[in-house]
Structure 1
Amino acid sequence: MRSRKPLLHYLGPAFLVSVGYMDPGNWATSLEAGSRFGFSLLFVVTLSSILAMFLQALAAKLGVATGQDLAEHMRARYRAWPLLFAVALVAMVATDLAEFMGVAVALNLLLGLPLVLAAWLTALDVLLILYLERFGFRALELVVLGFVALVAGAYVLEVALARPEPLALLRHAFLPDPTLAHPGALYLALGILGATVMPHNFFLHSAQVKTRLGLAPRETVYRYALLDTILGLGGAWLVNGAILVVAAAVFHAEGLVIADLAEAYRTLTPLLGPLAALAFALALLASGLASSTTGTLAAQRVVEGFLGGRAQGARIRLLVRLAAMLPASLALTLGLPAMGLIVLSQVVLSFALPFVLLPLAHLTGRRDLMGGFANRPLVALLAWGSAGGVVLLNLWLLART
C-alpha cells in the first residue's frame, strides 16, 4: 500500500532535530575554531555532519521499526539503565546551558540587559513550548522551522559580506588539515563534534518520528524519514560551515582570535558594517530560542522514556533549565566568559556521546527488535565504528591535554 499523503506530511522531525546542529554551542566552537585556525577545521564540520546524518538515520529507523524511542528501549533492555539515565540528564543540562546562554548573550547585545538577568529571562521560553503544544506537534515544528530560516538567511548575508575564497572553502571542506594534530585544534575539533553530534537529538528524533506512524506502511515512513534527515541535516551543515567560514574570512584574516560572542558582534561592525552585526545578533537569538525549545522537549522525552511516561512536561523543562542556570549564573557573576562556558558544555556532550551511540548501534542491529529494519553487516560495522571512533577521540583528547 502506497501513501496517499503528500511529502510535506512526512517532513519535520529531522528539521526539528537539525536545530540542535546549529545552536549557540556550534556558534561558540565554530567562531573560535575559525578565528584561531582559519579554514583548517572546516573538514571537521563536514565529517561531523556526515556522521550526524548516518547516526540520526539510525535513531529514526529505531523509532519507525519498533514504535518505541531510544530512551524507552534503554530502560527496557539494559540493567545499567540508571547510569544511562544519569548520563542522559547531564547531557540535557549541558545542552540547555549552551542554548540559554546563546539567548542571554543575544538579549544582552540587542537590548543591553545584564547577562545574569538575561539568562534568567530565558526561562520564559518554556512557556512558548507549552503554548505551541496546544496546537499539536506540527505547529511546534513549523515555528521552529521559522527560526531556522531566520538563522540561515542571516548567514547567507554574512557570507556574502565576508566574500571568502571559494577554492579554499572547497579544499578545506573535504580534505583534512595537519593542524588537527595541534592539541588546541583537537580540543576545538571535539567541541565541534560535541556541538554537531549531540546526545539529546537521538532521543528526540527516535521519539518524533513516531508521530508519522500510521500515515503509511513503515517502509514508506522510513524512506521519507531518510529524505527528511538528509534535507534537514544538510541544511544544518551549510549553516555550521558558514559560521566557521565567516569567522575565518573576517576575524582570522585580521589576526583576531574571538573568544566571546559579544566580542564577535562588536568586531563585526567595523569590519563588515552594522547590518552584519545586527544579523549576527538576531540569528543568535533565533538559534537560541529554537534550540532551547527542542532541547527542553528532548529532556521531556528522555524522562518519559526512562521513567515509563510518568513525567510532567513543564516541571521537567523547568528543572533542567534551573540545573543549568544556577551554576551558569554563578559563573557569570564571578566574571567567567559566556563563550568559555558554551565551549566547555560542548566538550561535555562529546564525552556523553558513547553512552548514547553504543546502545544505538546495539539496538538497531538486533533482528529480534528491528525485524527487516535491522542493520545489515556494512551498516552495523559503520555504526559500531562511529561509536568506537568517538570513544577513541575522547581518550586521545585526555592523553594530549
Structure 2
Amino acid sequence: MTTDARPAEQENTRTPRSGLLRLLGPAFVAAVAYVDPGNVAANLTAGARYGYLLLWVLVAANAMAVLVQYLSAKLSVVSGRTLPELLRDRLRTPARLAYWGQAELVAVATDLAEVIGGAVALNLLFGTPLFTGGVITGAASMLLLALHNRAGVRWFEAAVVALLLVVVAGFVSGVVLAPPDPAEAAAGLVPRFAGADTVLLAASMLGATVMPHAIYLHSAMARDHHGAVHADRTRRVLRATRLDVAGALVLAGLVNISMLLLAASALRGVAGTDTLEGAHAAVLGTLGTGAGLLFAIGLLASGLASTSVGAYAGAVIMQGLLRVDVPLLVRRAVTLVPALVCLGVGVDPTRALVVSQVVLSFGIPFALVPLVRLTSDRALMGEHANRTGTRLAAAVAVTLVVALNACLLYLTFTG
C-alpha cells in the first residue's frame, strides 16, 4: 500500500468507507488462529465434560486476545518492523537462539493441531484415512500459500477470510439448533475450577485462544498489508486497526463460545463426546444430518485455513529472529512431518489436539511480555506508547497466564 502524505491537520477528518475497508484485513487472518481445530477439541471437551463451568475462561481469553492482537498490530504500524525483528536486535545470540527454539516449538504444536484437525474432518466427511487426510490437508495449505506467493497478500487474506466465514457458519449453526440454558450459561461466567482436569482444560482453552504464533504473525500481516506508514497517517491506520481487531476477535470469540455452548447444551452426558469423532456422532444423533455436516465442514475449513496461517507465522518467526528466509512451501513441507508421524503411529487425535494447546499456553508469556515492553517503550513508539491503563491491563493478562500455568504444573506433578 502506498504511503499517503496528507497534511497532519487532515488526520481527524472522517475516513471514507471505501478507504477504511482497504485498511481492514490483517486481524481477520490472525483470527483464524483463534478458531483452529485445537479450539474445537478443547472447547468441545470442556463443554461435554463440565457443561458451562469453563465458559468464563473463553470470555476472559477473548478479552485478552483483543488487547494482545491490537498491541501486536500497533507495534508494526508505528515501528514498521515485526515483533521477531525487534527482538532480534535486542537479544544476544544465545538468548536469541533459545527464544527462537521455544517459538519454533510453539509453531510445531500449532501445526500439529491444525493438520490433525483437517485429517479428522476429511475422515468424518469422506471416510478418508487419517494419514491420507493429513497429506491432503498439507497439500491444500500449500495451495493457499502458493496463492500468497503468486497473487499477493490481499488475495491470501481474502481466501483465509472466506474460510473463516465457513467456520463461523459451521459452528454457530449448532447453537441455533440447540439453544443453551441461559441461567446455567450465566453461572458459567463465574471463575472457578472443579479439579486438576478442569485446570488442564482451562490452560488448553487459553492456549488455543490467545495463541503465541498469532502474536508474531499479526505484526507481520499489519506490516505487509499497510506497508510503510507515514507519520501523518499513523493515527488513521491505528483507528482502522482497532476496528479490524475488534471485529475479527468478536467473530472468533462468538465461534469459540458457540462450540462450548453447543457441547454443554447438546452433548453433555453423551458417551464419547470427549473426542472429535464422538462429538460429531453426537451432533448427528442429537441435531440431525444437516448439523453434523455443517460441523464437519466447519472443522475442515478451520484446519485448512489455520494450517496455512501457522506456516506463515513460522516463516515470520524464523526470518525475524535468525534472518533465515525459508520459502513458505518448503517450510510447509517440513513442518508437516510431525503431524503425519502422529497420524501414522495412531496417536489419539483429540488428545494430541488438547495437549498441543497446553504447549501453546506455555508459549504465551514469551510472546506477550516482550510485546508489552516494546509497545510501552516511548523511544520506540513515541506518542503511541502504551498508556498506564493499557500497561496495567496487559500486566493482569500476563499474570493470569503465568498463574494458570503454574497451577497446571503443580496439579500435574502432585495430583
Contact 2:147/2:156 (<8 A) preserved? no
Structure 1 residue 265: Cα displacement: 1.2
| Cα distance between partner residues in 2 of 1:71 and 1:228 | 22
Alignment partner for residue 297 of structure 1, among 301, 312, 317?
Answer: 312
Q: Is the 8 A contact 1:12 1:141 kept in 2?
A: yes
Partner Cα distance (1:232, 1:296) in 2? 20
Runs (5+) with no aligned partner, structure 1: none
Q: What is the match of residue 32 of structure 2?
A: 19
Give me the whole-angstrom Cα distance separating, in 2, the residues matched to 1:261 and 1:181. 23
Structure 1 position 239 matched with structure 2 position 255: yes
**What is aligned with 1:212?**
226
Residues of 2 paired with 1:58 and 1:256: CA distance?
Answer: 42
The equivalent residue for 1:374 is: 385
* Structure 1 residue 171 displacement after superposition: 4.0
The amino acid of 2:204's aligned partner reads: G
Given the two structures, how large is their TM-score scaled by the length of structure 1? 0.94
User: 2:5 aligns to what?
Assistant: none
- How far 1:287 sits from its partner (Å)? 0.8
**DSSP 3-state at the match of 1:6:** helix
Match of 2:343 among 324, 329, 332: 329
Amino acid at match of 1:175: V
Return the offset for 1:128: 2.5
Q: Assess if the C-alpha contact under 8 Å between 2:208 and 2:360 holds in 1.
A: yes
Give the CA deviation at 1:257.
Answer: 5.4
Counterpart of 1:73 (choices 68, 72, 86) is 86
Matching of residues 163-182 of structure 1 within 5 Å: 163-172=179-188, 174-176=189-191, 178=192, 180-182=193-195
Residue number in structure 1 paired with 2:245 = 229
| Partner of residue 99, structure 2 | 84
Corresponding residue number in structure 2 for 1:145: 161
Counterpart of 2:326 in 1: which secondary structure? Answer: coil
Percentage of pairs with the same residue: 38
2:116: which partner in 1?
Answer: 101
- 1:285-326 CA distance string (max 9 Å, x none): 011111111111111111111122633222222222224433
Shift of 1:168: 3.0
Aligned residue identity for 2:404: L
For 2:394 and 2:366, how far apart are their aligned partners in 1? 14
Aligned equivalents of 1:214, 1:132: Cα separation in 2: 20
Shift of residue 230, structure 1, vs aligned partner: 0.6
SS at match of 1:258: coil
Shift of 1:156: 3.0
Q: Specify the alignment match of 1:347 in structure 2.
A: 358
Of residues 136, 148, 155 in structure 2, which corresponds to 1:121? 136
1:351-362 to 2 correspondences below 5 Å: 351-362=362-373
Q: How many residues align?
A: 393
Q: Is the CA contact 2:137–2:303 (under 8 Å) kept in the aligned structure 1? A: no
Q: Give distance in 2, aligned partners of 1:17 and 1:363.
A: 20
User: Which 4+ residue blocks in structure 1 deviate beyond 6 angstroms?
Assistant: none
CA–CA separation in structure 2 for the residues paired with 1:10 and 1:64: 12
- CA distance change for structure 1 residues 22 and 108 in 2, over 3 Å: closer, same or farther? same
For residues 310 and 22 of structure 1, the distance between their equivalents in structure 2, rounded to whole angstroms, comes to 28
1:77-113 CA distance string (max 9 Å, x none): 1221111111110000000001011100011111111
| Structure 2 contact 69–215 (Cα < 8 Å) conserved | yes
Structure 2: gaps (5+ residues): 1-9
**Aligned mate of 1:277, from 292, 298, 301:** 292
In the alignment, the residues of structure 1 paired with residue 343 and residue 288 of structure 2 have an alpha-carbon distance, to the nearest angstrom, of: 32
- In the other structure, the counterpart of 1:154 is 170
State whether residues 299 and 317 of structure 1, in contact with CA within 8 Å, keep that contact through their aligned partners in structure 2. Answer: no
Q: Deviations over 1:308-359 (max 9, x none)?
A: 2633222222222224433x13442xxx310000000000111111111111
Aligned match of 2:215: 202
**CA–CA separation in structure 1 for the residues paired with 2:247 and 2:345:** 38
Which of 308-317 and 37-46 deviates more?
308-317
Q: Which residue number in structure 2 is paired with residue 131 of structure 1?
A: 147
SS of the aligned residue for 2:128 comes to coil
Contact kept in structure 2, 1:63 and 1:206, CA below 8 Å: yes
Q: Distance in 1 between matches of 2:367 and 2:340?
A: 24
